[in-house]
Amino acid sequence: MLRRGSTLNIWAQIMTLPFLFIMVFLLVGRLSTYNETFTSLNKSALEETVKKYVIQCYASEGSYPPNLDYLSEHYGLILDYEHYIYDYEIFASNIMPNIIVLDKRIHEIDQ
């Protein structure tokens, strides 16, 4: 003979399992979104840092640097080539270059 309290206890355990699966699923989804947001913010910060060095060079020398290696050699800019791809397109020495930073890990997954 089953007591009424034990039947409720079984139902509570059965209903807890799907709830836990849903919570884990939502948590994993949030962590993925957090990682994407962090990567995007980090990439934006790197682009802004490179732009600041480019502007500093222009203010000091009157022309934009010919490439990023010039900024590394003369202004101490440190670039992380292991994790990021830097696209630096210069049109003329008096026009602000186009600077794009790409995360290698994201682009390796896409390919």
> If pLDDT is split at 50, 70 and 90, which confidence band does 6 have?
low
More confidently predicted of 104 and 2: 104
Give the pLDDT of residue 2.
Answer: 47
Q: Which two tokens mark 8?
A: 């409720």
What mean pLDDT value characterizes the chain?
80
d(CA 31, CA 85): 25
Q: 85 phi and psi, to 5 degrees? A: -110, 130
Write down the residue that tokens 């992380």 correspond to.
Answer: 80
For the ranges 19-23, 27-31, 71-75, which has the lowest average pLDDT?
Answer: 27-31
- Whether pLDDT at 37 is above 80: no
- Whether pLDDT at 110 is above 80: no
